[in-house]
């Protein structure tokens, strides 16, 4: 019973990106020659976040370890809410733990 109460009091961390978060973007592409779905992963660190007048993350800028994903635009970055909501495409790693 005590463990349940302890776990109930622990807040779930937000998936909204923070400076220093590791972002892993997984893109599911068309089938390869063997009929398997290809996955391409891009890994990067959040280095700058611009807020809109209402305090929402309008632009999240990521420094990619290799090449940037094809849909990423360096001048605009990504909207923070897209990273937050698209669990299938984006993994958010903070302090060495994946944020569910």
Look-up of token digits 């390869």:
32
Cβ atoms of residues 23 and 90 within 8 Å: yes
- Which range of residues forms the domain containing residue 87? 2-98
Looking at the structure of the chain, the number of domains it has is: 1
Phi, psi values for residue 99, rounded to 5°: -85, 120
pLDDT digits (tens, 9 = 90+) for 38-49: 788 999 999 999
> What's the chain's average pLDDT?
87
pLDDT digits (tens, 9 = 90+) for 79-100: 999 999 999 999 999 999 999 8
Phi, psi values for residue 69, rounded to 5°: -60, 155
């Amino acid at each position: 019973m005590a463990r349940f109460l302890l776990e109930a009091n622990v807040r779930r961390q937000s998936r909204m990106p923070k400076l220093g978060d590791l972002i892993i973007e997984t893109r599911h592409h068309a089938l390869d020659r063997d009929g398997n779905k290809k996955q391409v992963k891009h890994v990067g660190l959040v280095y700058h976040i611009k807020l809109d007048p209402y305090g929402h993350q309008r632009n999240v800028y990521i420094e990619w370890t290799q090449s940037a994903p094809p849909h990423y635009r360096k001048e605009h970055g990504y909207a923070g809410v897209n990273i937050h909501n698209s669990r299938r495409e984006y993994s958010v790693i903070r302090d060495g733990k994946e944020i569910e």
